[in-house]
Chain A
Amino acid sequence: MIPSELEACFRVLGITPRADWDEVKSAFRRLARTCHPDVAGPESSSHFAEINEAYMDIKRFLLSGKPPERPLRRRDASPKNRTGADGNRTGRKGFGERMRQRRLDEALNEAARRVESLLRRAAEKKEEGLSSHLERLRSVHPAVILLALEALSGRTGEEEVRKALVELLCRPSLEREVLHRALDLIGPADRDIITLLSRRAGSVDAEAALALLRSLRGTPDVETLLVRWLSHRSEKVVAEALAQWPLSAPPPDDLSLSRLLRRREEIVLIPLLRLLYRYGAPPWAFFSLRNLAADHPSTAVRVWARSVVSQGDVV
């Protein structure tokens, strides 16, 4: 015999109380196809909850023979905790009260406006999806970094993007393709980002540094950037920085010069000597220059050093 409370459950599922368990399940599935929140949207969740509850009550009864122990329609249970709040509502509607109401409306309008603008901003930001790009830029997978670089083209003006690109270029052993795409993205015109990179010249990989320096050719005031690269650990980078030193600019400062003159690599010394030949060497440098002219293993270095020295003797 079906208890009367259960008949309501059968009605919710749209079947007769004589239905067996298989029919109950079928009815439940039929209803789920239209009422499940995944199909019908979140508005239907309370309707589905009701169906769900009816289904479980019937299941408990049919499979164990026990009638449901809880009141079936919970919504009918006395909503006790409402009364307190309602009790306070009796108020005189005097002038002060009307002012209060107006202030309330103003506060509500103001809040509504600000919430709308916040929602709009949040939507815009989500569209930009900067965090997902940056996450991918931090990847070690070259293909993923390339995807991020592609997505970020045209956005190098943003502070966060700049920082991330600098981080990327400071990484050891970057894939060649990634490196070139990143440099393409930056472009020689982007002075800020190159200045940032130059400040961290010591931590940029040689290959990245070389590619970057080559992309700098022809930039105005390039020597202020180049000077940072003169102490790079790779002699190729130092040589490239010297080779790009513009004709119009003053030579590197004395400290850098003295450090460079102590080096022995031909590829560094030749562009350095060429620069000194053009500008004239400071007097303190002649001792090292004469040494180079006398005993450097490379003929070219000896010839260039001799020229700088003889030019200085004339002056």
Chain B
Amino acid sequence: MEEVMLGIDLGTRYALTALCREDHRPYILPNRWGSERTPSVVALTERGWVAGEEAARVSLLRPDRAWWNVKRRIGTGWKARCDGRSYSPEELLVPLLRLLREDAEALLGRYVLSGVLALPAHFSFSEREALSRAAREAGFEKVILVNEPTAAALASESRGRHLVLDFGAGTVDLSVVEVEDGVWQILESRGRSDLGGADIDRLLAEDLFRRCGERGDEDDSRWPLLQAESEAVKVALSEARSCPWHVPAGLFPGVSSPVDVTRAELETLITPLLEQVVDLTEDLWLRHRPESLLLVGGSSRIPLLRRLLEERGMKAGRLRLCPDEAVVFGAALRGLPQKAERLLLDVLSEGLGIRTADGAVALLLDRGTPLPAAARRRFVATGSGRIQVEVLQVAREGERALGSLSISSLSRGDEVEVAFRVDGGGSLHVEIRYGQERLWRILPLEGEKEDRGEAFRRNRERLEHKLALLSGLLDAERQDRLRSLVGKIRLLPDDDEAVRSEAMEVLDHLAAALEGEDVS
């Protein structure tokens, strides 16, 4: 049977899943509650973790034990605290991803072992790695990552060059894509995680508090309910000119219900926020001059956004898709095997480089380099002793450190070769050679929980390195045999203790034999 590749749009507010039919047309999978959208919320109850609608119910009663908006907190250092333990955003997403997988399995009547996860274009390598680890933790054995606007572009039928604006609940993402003869080539991707529909809900919720004669903030016990109400009013105002808000009974004693909210009032509140989205879009629009603009994501329905875009000469084209579904459809399509007739060429959304001795940034890979990408470059040491090589992700706004590798014992004038390789799945491999030494890592480099597989990999690399050094003593034929052996060992799975220990033994023996010791 063919492998099931589940397309997942893990939104800030709602998550969706989709699959491709045999004719390559995607369709949405409903969840266990019969709904196409699963609320992106998790909660810790006395029965363990729950997610989706069950967690949404918990969030109304016990907002301190439920977490919304987890996705936009990835990589911010934020932790959820509960019962004396703290949880990283990645950990919080595991129950949600598990729920999505299980709902698909229950519906299909078979296991779902692989998934395509759409994520914001601006996610750094550490954040990507964290998400893909969460997916594996949730029972996916194979995970492909795809940028959200890229996925949306893949789902849209448009030809030529277009700009995709994905405006969701928590993030704004943009991609410029060119489609020609079945090849989708991304020219540039950008995004921000601090702008989204959830911020609109927050502004409106604060306004609703004010209308009821109170000052409310996110610590108020009524906040979760009011935010949910705001979302409903906002959605209604995308269609209607005004919307009566029925104050939930007992929430604000003495306030006469309904309170009328007009679209104009909402627009005054949110114009500054939308202007930022429009600025971001205009920047890409002017540089790439696309033929059309496609708007996807729930917040793209806001009439004011379309009007503001149009005022600056950017008219949104026809999408021929539900704006909420474009990303998940694209993710499902990305799950099909890449073929000459249907190929997605994604790019690096931010540049990659290292920090040089004078504090400047030496760029190895440019933003916009097609994936898989590789680059190597030589540097000359300006000092002696221990040197830290800091790996940087370089965005237009500045750079972020991804981690660093330390080189011991270097002397002034030594040559150091730094090589970066980014594979199609979006993980970064860093290799540093100096003299006879070789360091090799997959990002993220630091702040990692070390599992046993990780320790095995590191140990294996150490032995591989040793073997590579010793193989200089061998003739060409034996060198080849050794290389093929090492390559095969690298293919072994690292989740089985018995396999791991035997593989280490084999490598140890080889190293001992090469050193000329007796290996009887």
Residues of A within 8 A of B (CB): 25-26, 28-29, 32-34, 36-39, 45, 48-49, 52-53, 55-56, 59-60, 70, 74, 77, 80-81, 84-86, 88-89, 100, 103-108, 110-112, 114-116, 118-119, 121-122, 125-126, 131-132, 135-136, 139-141, 143-144, 147, 151
Query: Contacts A107-B519, A110-B509; is A115 near B489 (CB within 8 Å)?
Result: yes
- Tell yes or no: B36 within 8 A of A by CB: no
Once the chains bind, are B340 and A33 in contact (CB under 8 Å)?
yes
Number of A-B contacts (CB under 8 A): 159
17 contacts between A and B (CB under 8 A): A32-B343, A33-B182, A34-B340, A36-B338, A36-B343, A36-B345, A55-B370, A81-B433, A100-B516, A107-B519, A108-B485, A115-B485, A115-B506, A118-B489, A132-B113, A136-B111, A136-B139
Stretch at the interface among B100-108, B204-212, B245-253, B271-279: B100-108
Give the docked Cα–Cα distance between A110 and B377 (Å).
Answer: 39
Once the chains bind, are B105 and A147 in contact (CB under 8 Å)?
yes
Closest 7 A-B residue pairs measured CB to CB?
A85-B472, A107-B513, A143-B106, A38-B338, A29-B183, A33-B340, A141-B102
Give the docked Cα–Cα distance between A195 and B12 (Å).
Answer: 48
Name the residue on A nearest B510 (C-beta): A111
Once the chains bind, are A48 and B499 in contact (CB under 8 Å)?
no
In the bound complex, residues from chain A placing their C-beta under 8 Å from that of B98 are 139
The listed residue with most B CB atoms (<10 A of its CB), out of A29, A74, A108, A135, is A29
Give the docked Cα–Cα distance between A49 and B435 (Å).
Answer: 25
Which of A70, A108, A116, A140 is close to B478, meaning CB atoms less than 8 Å apart?
A: A108
Give the docked Cα–Cα distance between A182 and B485 (Å).
Answer: 44
B:172-203 near A, CB below 8 Å: 178, 180-183, 185
Query: Contacts A29-B345, A39-B343; is A60 near B510 (CB within 8 Å)?
Result: no
Q: A115-B488, A115-B492 are in contact. List 13 more A-B contacts (CB 8 A).
A: A26-B180, A33-B181, A38-B338, A49-B372, A53-B375, A56-B369, A74-B376, A85-B469, A104-B513, A112-B481, A112-B485, A143-B105, A144-B105
Which of A88, A136, A140, A151 is close to B472, meaning CB atoms less than 8 Å apart?
A: A88
In the bound complex, residues from chain A placing their C-beta under 8 Å from that of B339 are 39
- Tell yes or no: B403 within 8 A of A by CB: no
Once the chains bind, are B373 and A52 in contact (CB under 8 Å)?
yes
Give the docked Cα–Cα distance between A25 and B187 (Å).
Answer: 10
Mark interface residues in B130-153 (1 if CB within 8 Å of A CB, else 0).
Answer: 000000000101000000000000
Mark interface residues in B481-500 (1 if CB within 8 Å of A CB, else 0).
Answer: 11001001101110110010
Once the chains bind, are B106 and A144 in contact (CB under 8 Å)?
yes
Query: Contacts A36-B345, A55-B370; is A122 near B492 (CB within 8 Å)?
Result: yes
Query: Contacts A108-B482, A112-B485; is A141 near B32 (CB within 8 Å)?
Result: yes
In the bound complex, residues from chain A placing their C-beta under 8 Å from that of B469 are 85
Give the docked Cα–Cα distance between A85 and B366 (Å).
Answer: 34
Give the docked Cα–Cα distance between A110 and B516 (Å).
Answer: 16
